[in-house]
Structure 1
Amino acid sequence: MHNWLRKNPNVRTIRVAAADLNGVPRGKRIPTRFADKITQDGTRFPFSVLNLDIWGEDIEDSPLVFDSGDRDGVLKPTERGFMPMPWLESPSGLLPIWMFHDDGRPYAGDPRHALRAVLDRFKARGLTPVCAVELEFFLIDDSGRKLQIPPSERSGKRRKGAETLSIRALDQFDQFFTDLYDACEEMDIPADTAISEAGLGQFEINMMHCDDALRAADDAWLFKMLVRGLARRHGFAASFMAKPYEDYAGSGLHTHFSVLDTDGNNVFDNGGPEGTDMMRHAVAGCMEAMAGSALIFAPHANSFDRMVPGSHAPTGVSWAYENRTSSIRIPSGAHTARRIEHRVSGGDVNPYLMLAAVLGAAINGIEDGKEPPAPITGNAYAADLPQIPNTWQTAIDAFAQDAAVARIFAPELIENLVLTKRQELHYMAELSPAEQAEIYLDTV
């Protein structure tokens, strides 16, 4: 039996889970005594399972279903290994898995493999991305007909106002955050600073930077699973929905990244505030792919409610030094930590696809030696800029035909995601915003 299970004899069941294209965990519950078979041989389920819509339904015109006989892939453990599931009442183990063909080839429609393929392009040039993500989410009382902030675990009162960087707001849910940090320790998720944000019951937790982008994506995916599950143990919901409240800012998932060479030097650092040619090439690549990748950064019907002018979410394609209205920001600070902040994604993204899109665009620009336009100054919302798609339909169409996207993602993944989103677009149109929110609250 696996060492982790040996050290945790109270664990009676395990879950094996892979991320589908929406980032939803798909897998099986297995008694611990059969764990050896999983770790040695993997498990099997259809390729189509990583390509379900947000309701968990098959994609009606997918080539993965009837056209190909709904064939199985084999799913093997990732290098992450077993970990606890602190949000469940009974002691349980989670084993992340990813999908392969029977002959050992990675399945190109698996979002984790999409990120691995991008990282292989960096590796071929002797480069290693260093990533950190900032995850925003809402704590929500969804027990009534209207979503609202939960009552404080300490006072029992509801504080119905934005509390940006408020210690009091954090302290209202002190037990939840204490349990959350303890759980992150157990799961080896490097959660760092927590702050309250501008939305109603909105918080942000930053991850420590990591020189393994696959692990950084794992951490974000697992963290989202943990936060949602742990909140339910505390009697309320947690959601990474892009925009649960019409009158408050939405949730983003900002990404910071730099790139190291084989000697461990930051290739974006020129000793000053400007950054290097390679940093600008990466910026140019990110800008070129931004409109085509909008479907990755805003994957759901609700995502586009966040992306409106003046809402702290970018709407135009731009870059700037120390400017949070731009879609790409070069933060100030020590030159040795020179990095790019990509600010477009909502909290509802699939972290694997998001990091693949961001880093894939950056390596496109580095490979091409592209130069970006001049950085903007002032308010990006007031500038005449190329626009990021502002509807789901235009984002789907742009993703389907964008040349930069085609360099980042495998054709099969592009086709699968486009078919998935067109099906969701069709059926979401039949639902009210409240009904849509009910679907998204616990899934994204």
Structure 2
Amino acid sequence: MTWLHDHPHIKTIRVAASDLNGVARGKRIPARFAQKIEDDGTRFPLSVLNLDIWGEDIAGSPLVFEAGDPDGVALPTDRGFIPMPWLDSPTALLPMWMFREDGRPFDGDPRHALNAVLKRYADRGLTPIVGTELEFYLVDDSGKDLQVVPSPRSGKRRPGAEILSLRALDAFDGFFTKLYDGAEAMDIPAETAISEAGLGQFEINLSHGPAMKAADDAWLFKLLVRGLARQHGFAASFMAKPYAEYSGNGMHVHFSVLDENGTNIFDNGGPEGTSALQHAIAGCMNALAPSALIMAPHGNSYDRLVPNAHAPTSICWAYENRTAAIRVPGGTPAARRIEHRVAGGDVNPYLMLAAILGAALTGIEDAAPPPSPITGNAYDQDLPQLPDRWTTAIDAFEADPTIARIFPSELIRNLVATKRQEAQEYAGLSDEEKIDLYLDTV
């Protein structure tokens, strides 16, 4: 209660956990009851973390009628209370994760899935260090068709994309100033902001740190960006492809791995990296197709994964090459790392990092050799391809033995059932309904 004691202006709290889609599910509680929640947690139905994107139960789920829709116990994570600066009333969020009645972690909770992968690293004396790059659009969705937001300074709509344009950033200086202030208050390490290739598209990097905090940061950052945008009278969207004619939103992941002495196990003093780097790349490569459902979890996600649109489509890796799915950036050897470029902005950060780090560790455990790195434009080469259909990705995720080494069977079952239900409903939507579904949900 120290944080709340130091912030007596807080009137209400939210307690929330991430469901499989990354949607925050939880409750509003007066601040005077916070001590009980902090000490004992609260109760949610287990099925709450396994709703579809509309917030509906999954038909035939064993968590619902078959089991009597039982409660689990939602307990606070180690994040503690954090402010919610996008709300008008002084409010704090207490992030939670789900446990069964007997104290066991609930295997359907995406945060527990990442935690299990990190325990595998810890058992080997290893610690992943992760940074993320989050792309999003600022959108005027007040009319029938999406438009770029008018500049608060000039009132004009920017006619085209402006990569790394200071003018584009400065036009929304008020929004970005509040965004950075909010990130600092929430202990989210927001670093560089740039304007990107799309109309009204921006990217902000979150600096490297422990993997679980990186996942928490990404999840919370998406809540912050969307909330502040609405406070400013427009929308912020992380959906994979809001505009057919412009680049989609990605969430690139950079990671290295430290040993017990704090040494980067990917660094051999040169540009090529160690055998551990090669094995981790091989693990990521082997999991690219079966983990596509995690990296591209929604119907709209596959509109992003098309050639020549700044998103990878081929299963390949390379040194310092942004057309590859797996990139090894240049720079000082001490910072040797892997950049995983497949995920869209619409992912669940916990599942994404579990899939990426789990795949890398599987490669290290198996001492798997990668294929040769490519050179040149991956789009122009005859290479194995990522799944280009949602249903293909669902089937691959369900059946692949590598996925079974990373995720618990309960989560695999729940996610597959969720995505099959969503895919069936999505097929009947109009284009306008599809945009409306994802614009500020994911």
Normalised TM-score (structure 1): 0.99
Q: Matched residue of 1:361: which SS?
A: helix
State how many pairs are aligned: 442
Report matched runs for 1:154-303 at 5 Å.
Answer: 154-210=153-209, 212-303=210-301
What corresponds to 2:117 in structure 1? 118
Report matched runs for 1:38-53 at 5 Å.
Answer: 38-53=37-52
Unpaired segments ≥5 residues, structure 1: none
2:390 maps to which of 388, 392, 399: 392
User: How far apart are the structure 2 equivalents of 1:344 and 1:226?
Assistant: 23
User: How far apart are the structure 1 equivalents of 2:295 and 2:431?
Assistant: 20
Report matched runs for 1:10-409 at 5 Å.
Answer: 10-210=9-209, 212-409=210-407
1:214-237 CA-to-partner distances (Å, cap 9, x unmatched) read 100000000000000000000000
Establish whether residue 415 from structure 1 lines up as the match of residue 413 from structure 2. yes
Q: CA deviation at 1:394?
A: 0.3
Residue identity opposite 1:83 in structure 2: I
User: How far apart are the structure 2 equivalents of 1:102 and 1:141?
Assistant: 45
Q: Matched residue of 2:148: which SS?
A: coil
Q: CA deviation at 1:430?
A: 1.0
1:222-259 CA-to-partner distances (Å, cap 9, x unmatched) read 00000000000000000000000011000100000000
Q: Matched residue of 1:442: which SS?
A: coil
Q: Matched residue of 1:208: which SS?
A: strand
Establish whether residue 3 from structure 1 lines up as the match of residue 7 from structure 2. no
User: How far apart are the structure 2 equivalents of 1:57 and 1:30?
Assistant: 23
User: How far apart are the structure 2 equivalents of 1:134 and 1:238?
Assistant: 16
Residue identity opposite 1:310 in structure 2: N
Q: Matched residue of 1:332: which SS?
A: coil
Residue identity opposite 1:146 in structure 2: D
Q: Matched residue of 1:316: which SS?
A: coil
Q: Matched residue of 1:320: which SS?
A: strand
CA-atom RMSD, angstroms?
Answer: 0.5
Q: CA deviation at 1:442?
A: 1.3
User: How far apart are the structure 2 equivalents of 1:383 and 1:282?
Assistant: 23
What corresponds to 1:427 in structure 2? 425
Q: Matched residue of 2:114: which SS?
A: helix
Identity %: 70
Residue identity opposite 1:288 in structure 2: N
Normalised TM-score (structure 2): 1.00
Residue identity opposite 2:265 in structure 1: V
User: How far apart are the structure 1 equivalents of 2:183 and 2:172?
Assistant: 17
Residue identity opposite 1:375 in structure 2: P
Q: CA deviation at 1:443?
A: 0.7
1:155-184 CA-to-partner distances (Å, cap 9, x unmatched) read 111002011000000011010000000001
1:9-58 CA-to-partner distances (Å, cap 9, x unmatched) read 11110000000000000000000111111011100011100000000000
User: How far apart are the structure 2 equivalents of 1:12 and 1:89?
Assistant: 11
Unpaired segments ≥5 residues, structure 2: none
Residue identity opposite 2:231 in structure 1: R
User: How far apart are the structure 2 equivalents of 1:48 and 1:160?
Assistant: 45
